[in-house]
Chain A
Amino acid sequence: MITRRTAIAAGLAAPFVARSQAQAQAVSRAETLLLVQEYGPNSLDMQGIGSSQPVNGVALNCYDRLLRFKPVPIPGGGGNTVSMGELEGELAESWQVASDGMSCTFKLRDATFHSGRKVTAADVKWSLDRACTIGGFATTQMNAGSLEKPEQFVVVDEKTLRVDFIRKDKMTLPNLAVTIPFVFDSELAIKNGGGDPHAKEWLKNNIAGSGAYRVESWKPGVETIYVRNDDWKCGKLPQLRRIIARDIASPATRRALMERGDADVSYGLPPKDFKDLLDAGKVNVVGVPIPNGVWGCYLNTQVGPFKDVRLRQAVAWVMPYEKILQASLFGRGVSMAGGKDPKVAWPQPFPYTSDVAKAKALVDAAGGPFTTTLYFDAGNATVAEPMAVLIKEALAAIGITVEINKVPGANFRTEIAKKTNPMVLNRFAGWLDYPDYYLFWTMHGNNSIFNIAAYQNPALDKLVDAARFAPDKASYDANVIDFIKLVNNEVPMVPINQPTHDVALQKAIGGYQFQPCREPDFRYLTKG
């Protein structure tokens, strides 16, 4: 007899009647990598407007470009980094620069998209056109390599594409290897684009590529799961079949996961944690000094006290380079003090060292003590805050009173765009590792947002432009040495140190590959 009581009891017990089948694990743990990161992608389309930093990782692993940077060993060991001048074909089987140096012809590999369709020159053209016309960061980055107009990309036949140069620019080819000019399955994108010629909405949430990995599932803010594309044609088939990238906001939790051995790879820990992990020796920490990256103190050359070059030099003389390196970066970087002869490299140490007497004399000559304000992005507070405090302390010794202003992330850009702040701490790292490229962004008269010092000097512009489009190496080197000497003396920005890009990996993980976009490249990683 079924009473109310037995019915309830049966209902409550129902869930506990065991389910017969067990979940089959398709891919074993040995072939799966668990990556823990602070935050994940906000889109799957790096060309789209407003894509966050981790989207570069999606572009890198799920899409192919014509070219890629050739892996070269990291000098200190631990894996590979890239060298700007050395490229290898990704989708391109071969490429040939024309004898007049004004175009380059690419022959495509027999590669297929995840959809099964063949990759054609028309797809490459559609994708490069898109990057040049979509606006926002993608277009800016394309322009940085003199890739400006769709007419530059010419389909010769199904497997051949020609890129016409509008000027000779050594950055054109390397710029085809960064994470912006990747190749979409254009037919699939147009079909699903719903009338939008760029298919922005659809590509934001879907992958239409030929890359080594596909996105199996994407839960923004929680996790991204990648699975290997077994038909990848553009390189050696990756060893790892599945990548799980979990977003773990708390660095303390990420560190605990690494130390307990539950996570395989972690990016973006505070420098102190990397140092501790390295000292403890249970996991590997691979550090690469960020190419073209430097923490600098920008001194406003247009308004406020630092219009006077003597005061800018005074700051450079009093900067506590070594203390900052130890106390804010815990040694995970390279000091920028005491450079001897200018080299063709960026960043490089300026000729200043910590010398209070010299600095004091310069301040006295320029009119004695004053008060000023130092700004930095609160998002970088882990590193920038101790740095700011040490600078405040050091400048007090020469009569400069510094007030520290910590600016919330969303406000920082607005703040630096004003170009009225006397002192700003900022880290800038260009993707393309050339001195002239760096100065083009941070000190050139075009006054980009990163020229925080608002530095204007026609002599410097001339040297930087000449180096950018130099016809040969000798004139390039001469121009670079000249502008380095110039900024050594003018110091619109006092370089403090070149930070290291650190990654913690379990001992069983090999094949680490650093990329200029600073996102993990799963294609080379191995486990076991």
Chain B
Amino acid sequence: MHPFKILTAVAAPLPMMNVDTDMIIPKQFLRTIKRTGLGKYLFSEMRYEASGAEKPDFVLNKPAYRRAEILIADENFGCGSSREHAPWALNDFGIRCVIAPSFADIFHGNSFKNGMCPVKLPREQVLQLMARATDYPDQPITVDLEAQEVRAGNLVFPFTIDPFRRHCLLNGLDDIGLTLQHEGDITAFETKRKNERPWL
């Protein structure tokens, strides 16, 4: 996995609450057996007409935001289905970081597994960043995971991230490898469990 340290990039504003994972990647694209290639279907129903033509008003279709690597949204981003296709689609499009006042739990967890950094800030700060990204699309925003702050012009907003998740992101670590270091503990637990709950 690629480490995530400091990202300075164009930020696209998506001023919507409860952006659900069906919106991020609709069900017809879940029939893939790969993790890659979903970027072109990201936000498909908001981004394209039924004919397949781009909707010019959708933020990621506007020239200034086509190369956005940061997305700024409102409350409860990523709610609904557990589909990891949602972070895969964002990642494949090029978005490595979503900034929002709150995230749904499963999407939040899934992001880290893909080297993406979901940043929670107070809503008032998110709205300030959203306004800035709207008014000055050409001025990039910096998400600094080492310093745990978001910087945009003279705006500097600190954020916190679970220390273990931060460590994994900064170093590009894969969870399975880390867990398998405790294989002895897992085996011991399984033996104990068999004695205590033999019906399992």
A and B from one assembly?
A: no
Q: Could you list which residues of chain A lie within 8 angstroms of chain B, going by C-beta atoms? A: none
Q: Could you list which residues of chain B lie within 8 angstroms of chain A, going by C-beta atoms? A: none
